[in-house]
Amino acid sequence: MSVNEEQVTGETPSAFREDAPQNMPAEAEQPEAADGGQGGEQEPPKPKKKRRWIWNIVLIAVIALGLWGLFGISGEITEGEGMTFGEAMSGISVPGAVLLVAVVLGVMTVDCLKFCFVNKAVIGKVRPGVAIKTSFLGKFYDNITPFATGGQPMQIYYMTTKGVNVSLSSAVVLIRYFGSIYAFTFIGAVSMIAGVSVGVLDGVESATLLQILGWVGLFVNLIIPVFIAFFVFFPKFAMKCTTWFINVGVKLRIVKNKDRVMAKALKTVDDFVTSFKLIAKKPLWLALFILCCLAENFLTFSVPFFVMNALSCDVHGMFFTIFALNVFTTFGVSFIPTPGNSGVIEGMGVLAFSVAAGGALAWAVLFWRFAVYYIYILIGIAMTVFDLVAKNVKARRTEKVAVKRE
């Protein structure tokens, strides 16, 4: 039965029925094709690159706007007493810098391990090189597209070029995506509740604005996890609620195509449940994956503290304060549709971290953004250039061999 048929008849989505056929095997038992395909499935079309130059201009513009806002706002807050680049560099603590590098590398390592563990559970084997490149490709395309929508399609496409069929590659990417969302919102919710209870926003510039935006961002980010959880545990009730919301959207003329929206919602749930069933059969890999998701988000939210520590700021005893402020900042701009939330998050970071960074405020925010955002763009560009060079070299070698044979 198709998704549309289920919607019309009001039946439970196929992924929740015990008699539903599993459209993705638990192990990658299908033979690999010589050309990188697998199991007779066709490769998905490569994500289109229409109007790429427009997005490049937009990306450059928002980054420039963010840097302008960063130094402008920080100058006002520090009343012109901000450090110069030379002063900031001369005050760097070597042990602190080493610790910061270790944390940043830890974030990258944990994200790569997530793909390794999911690959082992779903596909049955691990190819570290593919897992590493899949991870960085996702980060790169997430950071250059609005709402981080570009990473998953590119990851699926790349995995299919390495011999993984579409179903399995989609399952791996979806599990990683939903795991990250649940860990992100869990740590965010706990940190914001605890942060408000201990007063981490006291003394922060525009604390009320930061708090309101933080809670709104948390609510927006909770929509998908809560939506899926309701379908998993209360499928009939969730179906009625979804239908009601969509009908309201139709009446308010927010939803134009009722059937299409319903089908898309049910497909999202079906994909998640079917994918989750694959890794749920391997509790060890599931546990390791969950730990990696939590560790990645924890380390990422910790980066500003280690940046300020490396810049010799007086942050003794302020780990949780800075951690929670970063959570409020990140969630507060998470619904901004610019690539990487650039142009807004820098300004919010200046407001949030002014309580701890002192004269190094602008540089603390800049280094923080470099560690969690710009570095992935640079790595993605380097990977792209390397691939182009490698293809050109391979093409020339092939041409030379063909000439010699003639």
Q: Is residue 331 part of a domain?
A: yes
- At residue 37, what are phi and psi to the nearest 5 degrees? -80, -175
CA distance linking residue 58 with residue 337, whole number of Å: 11
Question: Is 137 domain-assigned?
Answer: yes
Q: What is the mean pLDDT of residues 321-331?
A: 94
- Does residue 45 belong to any structural domain of this protein? no
Q: Is there a domain that residue 11 lies in?
A: no
Q: Indicate whether 53 belongs to any domain.
A: no
pLDDT class of 28 with cuts at 50, 70, 90: very low
Name the DSSP class of 373: I
In a domain, 226, yes or no: yes
Above 60 in pLDDT, residue 297? Answer: yes
Q: By residue range, what is the domain housing residue 291?
A: 96-375
Q: At what angle do helices 207-233 and 319-332 cross, to 10 degrees?
A: 70
Residues 63-109: tens digit of each pLDDT: 666 666 555 555 545 555 667 777 888 889 999 999 999 999 999 99
- Phi first, then psi: what are they for 125, rounded to 5°? -150, 160
Number of domains in the chain: 1
- Is the per-residue pLDDT at 305 higher than 90? yes
pLDDT, tens digit, 9 for 90 and up, residues 182-231: 999 999 999 999 999 999 988 887 888 999 999 999 999 998 888 777 77
Asked whether residue 68 is assigned to any structural domain, the reply reads no
Answer yes or no: is pLDDT of 53 > 80. Answer: no
Rounded average pLDDT over 378-403: 85
CA dist., res. 214 & res. 193, Å (int): 11
Inside any domain, residue 78: no
